[in-house]
Structure 1
């Protein structure tokens, strides 16, 4: 597919599925006020210390859920947890997260933190084992943590590309190790929610180029120590696309593998929202911060 055709394909999906308020007929009208009572629900959110993960943790905590924020920095996780207890005392680019109502103050859940490094599969397994000692069942698993279009030439502990290795392989390993508590007996099915993106349209033909996600023996950093693109590595945007395609693949596998009475798995596109995900991408981060009025306020 040529560059022009690829762009038109992406734009078609962006216009019809992005939820951007610029295209008024696709603007979502759902709000967190529609979340039913979550009292007693056990929830784990990766990357719950910022962005979509933080907003989700806040909303579910306000609805009575017992929420665990899983992130690489335990200190940042604790800071986010304390902010949530203080009624979401943060925001981004002037956009405040939803504040709880006086009625919600009477049914708050609990919030704690789990150290989890998705760039190291051994750390993922250790975190999962530690979490299974805390809880006997898991009702909702949000595979939310992510990065976007980072500099090529960065690798996980096991020498996979940083985006695919963390967002796909890290989340897959976490989900696999948590299946015993996701499938434990309960009245309602557990849920696994993968945060994907319309950006999956940037993926190469077939969805994933498997030769591109592993570090080649000849791949080394630049002489000054800065990252250098790997021999087989894709450019940053196709790499991001195949990572998001992988998120969808995980959800589809789980949906096909398990009875919906046991487990429901979905992948979602969040739309155009105010987060810090693109802050490192120069003009993208700058433009988003200056145009936060055009973003869906989550």
Structure 2
């Protein structure tokens, strides 16, 4: 590729990213699809990670109203049960009546928890139609790590979901063999924030805890006194590489298994990023009229992943492997995500980390 061609590729990427960033202030970008268009989902078995809040909650509610059996995979039993009760209380009945909502404990920041979740799910179900890798953490303080010693954002958003998908892959493929006309779908939530990843996508030495040469006073009090490792990146760069990794997982799956065996999508979700910025509460208090400019509803935020999960199979086959951005638009992920060597490197690295802890 010539320098001019490469430059134009990045210019087009950044222009598309700005236009389809999910910013509510861009009044001409609005959802073109609603959950009223979801077909009958009776008999479909679904997993939604992080299903007790935000876009995960909206996804569970919409599919429940259309008859699906949904496993709400969440860390907190209390929050999950409260969410399930709220969905049941506020649901609108669909063509075949309500589906089922089942809580299963899953902590993506603990690979042992991921193993337990998958073992329990496979013991209960003989197929898996939809897997939403929806959960995630954003801008967590530096110095917070997963149980196995990876930075919290990368360990949760990328490594945890990699392990989940890997352990459920045999069941997904079996589901595809049993019903090839309706292959299962995997939807991986990402973010426009992936553009902030370092060159090459991931600095692997930065996501593994390394406190050598670092003052570890009170390091055991991780939440109260987080101690960043010496290679740890700034929190927004760390977030960016975790979401770059999420897209890479989806692209790896597509290269190896889609669209003949399963349908895989990565996407930027309208997740109200502005809410996490320090000035946002002040702006919302002083200028409540700005709320529609800064925030989407969870229903709007979930519309992309619900669309690709439930659209017609032939349309889904054409979309498989796409990076879908707000709203119902095939966007452009960062160009280095087209580098298959980088995708293989990420998948193999995640595999190697899991094997260290088996």
What TM-score results when the alignment is normalised by the length of structure 2? 0.71
Output one character per residue of 1:64-104: Cα deviation in whole Å (capped at 9) or x when no partner.
1111100111121111111111125xxxxxxxxxxx3x5x2
Deviates more, 1:25-34 or 1:138-147: 25-34
Deviation at 1:131, TM superposition (A): 0.7
Distance 1:285 1:14 in 2: 25
Distance 1:75 1:17 in 2: 36
Could you say what secondary structure the match of 1:142 adopts? strand
Distance 2:282 2:114 in 1: 33
Evaluate the alpha carbon distance shift between residue 109 and residue 221 of structure 1 in structure 2; reply closer, same or farther with a 3 A threshold: farther
Select which of 114, 118, 137 maps to 1:128.
118
Q: Which structure: greater helix fraction?
A: 2
Deviation at 1:17, TM superposition (A): 1.4
Distance 1:38 1:286 in 2: 42
Evaluate the alpha carbon distance shift between residue 49 and residue 287 of structure 1 in structure 2; reply closer, same or farther with a 3 A threshold: farther
The equivalent of 1:47 in structure 2 is 50
Evaluate the alpha carbon distance shift between residue 257 and residue 154 of structure 1 in structure 2; reply closer, same or farther with a 3 A threshold: same
Deviation at 1:27, TM superposition (A): 2.2
CA RMSD of aligned residues (A): 2.4
Select which of 171, 174, 177 maps to 2:161.
171
What TM-score results when the alignment is normalised by the length of structure 1? 0.85
Output one character per residue of 1:153-206: Cα deviation in whole Å (capped at 9) or x when no partner.
000011000000011000000111111221112241111100000010111111
Q: What runs of 5+ residues in structure 2 fail to find an aligned partner?
A: 1-10, 300-358
The equivalent of 1:94 in structure 2 is none
Deviates more, 1:251-260 or 1:218-227: 218-227
The equivalent of 1:227 in structure 2 is 226
Are positions 1:29 and 2:32 aligned together? yes
Select which of 178, 199, 206 maps to 1:212.
206
Distance 1:171 1:17 in 2: 25
The equivalent of 2:102 in structure 1 is 112
Deviation at 1:26, TM superposition (A): 2.3
Deviation at 1:272, TM superposition (A): 5.0
The equivalent of 1:198 in structure 2 is 192
How many residue pairs get aligned? The number is 275
Deviation at 1:271, TM superposition (A): 2.2
